[in-house]
Structure formats: structure tokens, C-alpha cells
């Protein structure tokens, strides 16, 4: 009989919760270590990802009652026509999603881990990141116009970046500004700006280049 492998999962977000669930279900000894960080205010979860969540956590009703997105309206490229496409997604805050997921419990009989999965920042010493690009992003709360379609999301590109707008509870929404800040992008917007009545506050999630661009984490050994 092979000895039981013990795995530590570091993090307290959705990724850590999913890792813990799959490892525990597969019979590994589970160790948990929190890594607090600001929670993401709004996540749009597509139909395929919803299916993965339901299978992983064994909850057919996991997304019941969440606001649904059934249309995606896109204006991509200078002078492009607006295109409405079918979409299937729900909107949830990270805190709401975590509250719906079963909490993991430790099952390891030792404090020594054979493997460690880092599912949240900060990264451990010896691990460096290789970055590709230099774009920045911000998430800004906005108030939608009364006639804005609450079952749609909007995507628009411009020379200096792009905008992504999703509705949330009541008449609120979240605007993701990628590239230039919104006060530079919105005046030239033909699509997204028409859905917004006004900003509803300061950016609550400013994403620096290290967060908004593609990256690969590299573990460096003593021999390198």
C-alpha cells in the first residue's frame, strides 16, 4: 500500500477552494493555509465554467438566482458595426460565489506537506514572474441608464484600449477599463458610454501591469 500523499493548498479564493475539493475527493491528505487578499467585485461566469463548477462541487443549484446575461454586444475596431451575439453567463461577486461553495476541511494527519499548491498571492521566495506586455486595468463601479439592457454585457475597443461593461444588482454595473483610464476612453466610446448614467465611485480594483498582462511563474532552483 502506498503512503498517503499530503498536499497543502495556500489561498482563500475560488481557485484554492476548487483545488481543495478535487484533492480531497481524490483521497489526498489536505492541508489548508489562508492568504487574504481583496475580493473581486464582479465575475461573469460562462455556461461551460458553470458546468465545471457544478461537477466539481456536486451542486446542481450552485448558480440559482444569480443575474443572467443572455446577450453580448460588441463594437470591435474603428468604425465597426455593433454586433449582438447570444451569450450564456451569470454575474456574481467573488464573496457571493465563495459563500455558495462548500468549505473545505483539513484531512492530513501530519503537518508536513509532500506538495504545496500556491493558489493566491503572495508568491513564495524563489518564485519569479515573467511578464508579457505592459497594459494596465481598473474596475470602476458605475450607474447604468434606465434603458440599459440588464441582460446584456458590452465590449468595445478603441485605439488606446478597450472597455467591458457588465450589469449588477439594481441599476449598478462594473466597468473594466483596459489600457488607458476611462476618462480617456469613454469620451470616444460609441457603445459603452451610451449605457452609463454616471460613475458611482472610485476604482475599487486597480490592476497594475503585473496583474493585467499574461504572465508565467517560474520556480528557480539553487542550481540556476
Cα 97 from Cα 176, distance rounded (Å) = 20
Q: What pLDDT shows up at residue 223?
A: 44
In the chain, the number of structural domains is 2
* Residue 97 resides in a domain: yes
- The two beta strands, 215-219 and 43-46, are unpaired
Q: Say whether both 73 and 109 belong to one domain.
A: no
Q: Cβ contacts of residue 117 below 8 Å, gap of 6+?
A: 7, 8, 9, 10, 16, 19
Domain membership of residue 1 (yes or no) is: no
Residue 48 covered by a domain: no
Tell me how far CA of residue 65 lies from CA of 35, 55, 62, 143, in angstroms. 29, 19, 9, 22
Beta-bridge partner residues of 118: 10
Q: Can you give the pTM of this predicted structure? A: 0.79
Please choose, from the candidates 7, 210, 221, the residue with its C-alpha nearest in 3D space to the C-alpha of residue 125.
Answer: 221
Average pLDDT, the chain: 84
Question: What local confidence, expressed as pLDDT, does residue 207 receive?
Answer: 47
- Kindly state whether residue 76 falls inside one of the protein's structural domains: yes
140 in a domain, yes or no? yes
What is the pLDDT, as a whole number, of residue 1? Answer: 41
Range of the domain at 142: 61-91+129-224
Residues 113 and 146 in one domain: no
With a cut of 50, list the residues of the chain below it in pLDDT: 1, 201, 203-210, 223-224
Amino acid at each position: 500500500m502506498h503512503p498517503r500523499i499530503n498536499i497543502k493548498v495556500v489561498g482563500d479564493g475560488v481557485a484554492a477552494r476548487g483545488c481543495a475539493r478535487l484533492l480531497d475527493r481524490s483521497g489526498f491528505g489536505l492541508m489548508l493555509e489562508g492568504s487574504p487578499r481583496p475580493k473581486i467585485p464582479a465575475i461573469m461566469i460562462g455556461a461551460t465554467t458553470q458546468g465545471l463548477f457544478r461537477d466539481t462541487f456536486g451542486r446542481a443549484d450552485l448558480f440559482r438566482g444569480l443575474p443572467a446575461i443572455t446577450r453580448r454586444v460588441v463594437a470591435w475596431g474603428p468604425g465597426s458595426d455593433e454586433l449582438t451575439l447570444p451569450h450564456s453567463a451569470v454575474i456574481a461577486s467573488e464573496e457571493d460565489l465563495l459563500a455558495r461553495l462548500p468549505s473545505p476541511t483539513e484531512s492530513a494527519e501530519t503537518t508536513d506537506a509532500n506538495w504545496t499548491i500556491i493558489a493566491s498571492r503572495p508568491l513564495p521566495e524563489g518564485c519569479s514572474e515573467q511578464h508579457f506586455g505592459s497594459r494596465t486595468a481598473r474596475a470602476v463601479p458605475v450607474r447604468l441608464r434606465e434603458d440599459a439592457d440588464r441582460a446584456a454585457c458590452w465590449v468595445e475597443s478603441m485605439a488606446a484600449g478597450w472597455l467591458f461593461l457588465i450589469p449588477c444588482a439594481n441599476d449598478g454595473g462594473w466597468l473594466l477599463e483596459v489600457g488607458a483610464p476611462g476618462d480617456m476612453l469613454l469620451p470616444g466610446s460609441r457603445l459603452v458610454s451610451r449605457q452609463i448614467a454616471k460613475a458611482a465611485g472610485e476604482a475599487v480594483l486597480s490592476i497594475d501591469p503585473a496583474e493585467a498582462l499574461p504572465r508565467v511563474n517560474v520556480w528557480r532552483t539553487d542550481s540556476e
